Structures are given as C-alpha cells and as structure tokens.
C-alpha cells in the first residue's frame, strides 16, 4: 500500500484513490468544520487552475493535500465546463510533473509501469554528453509524444533500438505528465448530477464566478482587437478554447486555427504568444511554424484555412450552427457574422436613439 505522503503527492494514483475510498467520507461529513482546511485547499486547487494554469503543491500537510484532491475533482465535475476540466487537468498534471522531477528513477519507473502500463526499462547510457536512464517502448512513446512538434521529440530524431526509445529523466517525466493529464481529465469529464449541500454549493458558486470573470481574459489574453472573438466560427473557437485550456490539438486543428488567425489579421507575435503561453512549445520553433503558414518562410505562400468540407472530413467541424449552413469556408462564416453583429449593433442604436429623443 501507498503511504499517506506518497498519496498526497500523487492523489490521482489508483492506490491513493483507494486510500481515500476506505475513509468513506460522505458529502455530509464534508460540511463538518473539521473539513474546513480540506475544502479551502480544494477550492484553492480549482481557482489556481483557473487563474494561474498551474497548481502548487503543499506537502507539509499530507492529509489535507490528499483529501482536497477528490473534493476539487468534484467541484470541477459539478461545474461541468469542458474548458475548466481541461485547464484543471493540465494544472494538476503540471503540479505532479514538478514533484516527479525531483524523484529517483525507480519512483518514476514504478509509476509509469504500474499506473500507466508503460513497457519501460531502467538503463544507463550516455550519448553526446547526455545520460539516458530509461528506455520506453515506442508505442507508449508515441501515444504521448506524437503530438509534440519540436524536432527533438520526433521519433526519427530519437535513438531507437529493438522497439525501445532512450529517454532522459526530464523527458520521461514530461511524457508521464501527458498520461497524468489524460487520467485526471477522464476523472472530471464524466458528467455527474451531484446535489451539493449548501456550504459546498457556496464554494462552487464562488468558483463559477472566478471562472466567468476570468474566462475571457484567459482565452482572449493576447488577442488584439482586430480579431472579433464573437464572430469566430464554432470550429475555430472550439480549437482555440481547446488550445488555451491545454488540450492537444491535432495537426489539422492547429493548422486551421493558425491559418485562420493569420487571415483574420492577428499579429504573428500575438499568435506565437498564445501558443507558447499555454503549451510547452518551444518559442523559436512555434514561430518558425507560424511564419511558415503565414508565408514568410519556405514556399512563401500564405496559407488559407481549409474549407468546411475538408474540416468536416478531419473531424474539426464541431457544432456547426445556422450560419454554417450557408457557407463553405470558415472565413466566410467570420465575415458574415461580423456583418451581422454590426447590423445588430446598428439596429440596437437605432432603437435606442428614438427613445432618447422622445
């Protein structure tokens, strides 16, 4: 069995979860003043996720740290916002990665094998001045690294032999972070109808408020005024929300989003900032890619976003709405919607003015 301190570090592990389960704490128990610290910390975990995108770790009080995790999960589940779930999973995963980085190889290996079923061996190889402590089966490697776009993560740039890829410890923990994030996300994205007792509901209401107050600034952080957020077609706004909440975007989604933003007039610097701030893409490489799409490099053609039918076949077209039915290209959606918004605005002013003049 796992120690309480260990469980507090990694509360998402199966063993940690069962450690809490045996306590059999009910919702009504939580209302008791003795759980106040746990509730505070749980609320803190979620609000840190919203505000900072990264949760800190407080291991000086293991029981509180451990118990607050399932409570925080419950808050996120109750709030039921996709955007929050993803941002929370990312924040908690970053927290775990932070702690893991300080652990010995054996601990990392144990978690990888028992929790995530990695086929992983401890080795000790030195290549070009770097020490590789792990070899990981390429299928486990790809499951986590295939979405990374930096050249060093490309399989072709790795040392591979007999099906195994050599990894340094920071690389292994970086890949584990992906697994952890997916795991936590799977916990919090199961919709559940939970009837919270009043004192708990107060806390979720507070969190809902923090979320709604900050959501726009998180998602729209670096967007200049030229891009009209309300006019984004569903596919693009979904991809964008996904990006800022730490979801792994597929090739097509990334390409559609980037080329769309470029064509909608967003500055390259700003796009780079958005990408770098919410993911761990290497800035230089991200810039390179974006400049490529913008036609500043390589073939010198400025790419336009794919058509709706292409996006549809790649599964990027989600929740198309009424406007979607009349257009064939996301940029036409955008232009049309802007025009509609402007007309609405004019009409509203038109309505307002006579009233004033009366």
Which residue among 24, 26, 33, 129 contacts other proteins (CB under 8 A)? 129
State which residue, 233 or 246, has the beta carbon closest to ligand SF4. 233
Judged by beta carbon distances under 5 to 8 A according to partner kind, the member of other proteins, ligand SF4, none in contact with residue 308 is ligand SF4
Query: In whole angstroms, what is the distance from residue 46 CA to residue 101 CA?
Result: 23
| Segment interacting with ligand SF4 (CB under 6 A) among 100-108, 231-239, 242-250, 285-293 | 231-239
- Is residue 324 within the footprint of ligand SF4 (CB under 6 A)? yes
How many other CB atoms sit within 10 Å of the CB of residue 152? 11
Virtual torsion, Cα 109, 112, 117, 121, nearest 10 deg: -30
Helix, strand, or coil here: 22? coil
Judged by beta carbon distances under 5 to 8 A according to partner kind, the member of ligand SF4, other proteins, none in contact with residue 163 is other proteins
Query: In whole angstroms, what is the distance from residue 88 CA to residue 45 CA?
Result: 8
How would DSSP label each residue in 32-87?
Answer: SGGGHHHHHHHHHHHHHHHHHS-----TTSHHHHHHHHHHHHHHHHHHT-HHHHHH
Which residue among 173, 215, 330, 337 contacts ligand SF4 (CB under 6 A)? 330
- Is residue 161 within the footprint of other proteins (CB under 8 A)? yes
CB of 138 to other proteins, least distance (A): 7
* Stretch 299-318 residues interacting with ligand SF4 (CB under 6 A): 308, 311, 317
Query: In whole angstroms, what is the distance from residue 90 CA to residue 38 CA?
Result: 21
* Stretch 4-33 residues interacting with ligand SF4 (CB under 6 A): none
Query: In whole angstroms, what is the distance from residue 25 CA to residue 23 CA?
Result: 6
Judged by beta carbon distances under 5 to 8 A according to partner kind, the member of ligand SF4, other proteins, none in contact with residue 53 is none
CB of 117 to other proteins, least distance (A): 12
- Is residue 162 within the footprint of other proteins (CB under 8 A)? yes
Structure tokens at 83: 């955007």
Burial of 1 (0-12, 13-18, 19+ CB in 10 A): exposed
- Is residue 250 within the footprint of other proteins (CB under 8 A)? yes
| Segment interacting with ligand SF4 (CB under 6 A) among 52-60, 170-178, 228-236, 280-288 | 228-236
State which residue, 181 or 238, has the beta carbon closest to ligand SF4. 238
Helix, strand, or coil here: 25? coil
Which residue among 39, 235, 266, 294 contacts ligand SF4 (CB under 6 A)? 235
Burial of 300 (0-12, 13-18, 19+ CB in 10 A): exposed
Structure tokens at 320: 């198309």
The site string for ligand SF4 over 171-210 (x = CB under 6 A, - otherwise) reads ----------------------------------------
**Which residues are near ligand SF4 by CB under 6 A?**
233-235, 308, 311, 317, 320, 324, 330, 333
């Amino acid at each position: 069995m796992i120690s309480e301190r260990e469980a507090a570090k990694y509360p998402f592990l199966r063993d940690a979860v069962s450690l809490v389960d045996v306590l059999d704490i009910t919702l009504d128990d939580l209302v008791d003043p003795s759980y106040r610290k746990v509730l505070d910390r749980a609320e803190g975990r979620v609000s840190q996720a919203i505000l900072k995108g990264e949760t800190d770790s407080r291991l000086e009080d293991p029981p509180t740290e451990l118990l607050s995790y399932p409570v925080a999960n419950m808050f996120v589940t109750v709030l039921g916002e996709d955007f929050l779930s993803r941002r929370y999973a990312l924040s908690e995963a970053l927290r775990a990665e932070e702690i893991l980085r300080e652990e010995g190889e054996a601990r990392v290996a144990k978690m990888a094998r028992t929790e995530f079923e990695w086929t992983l061996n401890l080795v000790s190889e030195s290549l070009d001045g770097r020490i590789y402590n792990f070899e990981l089966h390429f299928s486990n490697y790809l499951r986590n690294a295939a979405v990374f776009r930096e050249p060093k993560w490309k399989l072709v740039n790795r040392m591979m032999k007999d099906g195994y890829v050599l990894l340094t410890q920071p690389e292994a923990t970086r890949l584990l972070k992906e697994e952890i994030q997916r795991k936590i996300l799977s916990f919090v994205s199961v919709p559940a109808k939970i009837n919270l007792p009043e004192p708990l509901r107060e806390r979720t209401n507070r969190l809902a408020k923090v979320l709604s107050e900050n959501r726009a600034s998180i998602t729209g952080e670096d967007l200049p005024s030229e891009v009209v957020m309300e006019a984004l077609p569903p596919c693009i706004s979904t991809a964008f929300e996904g990006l800022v909440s730490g979801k792994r975007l597929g090739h097509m989604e990334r390409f559609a989003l980037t080329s769309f933003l470029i064509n909608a007039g967003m500055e390259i610097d700003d796009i780079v900032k958005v990408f770098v701030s919410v993911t761990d893409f290497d800035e230089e490489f991200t810039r390179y890619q974006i400049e490529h799409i913008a036609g500043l490099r390589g073939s010198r053609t400025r790419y336009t976003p794919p058509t709706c039918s292409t996006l549809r076949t790649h599964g990027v077209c989600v929740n198309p709405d009424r406007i979607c039915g009349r257009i064939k290209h996301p940029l036409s959606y955008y232009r049309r919607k802007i025009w509609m918004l402007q007309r609405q605005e004019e009409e509203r002013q038109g309505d307002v003015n006579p009233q004033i003049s009366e």
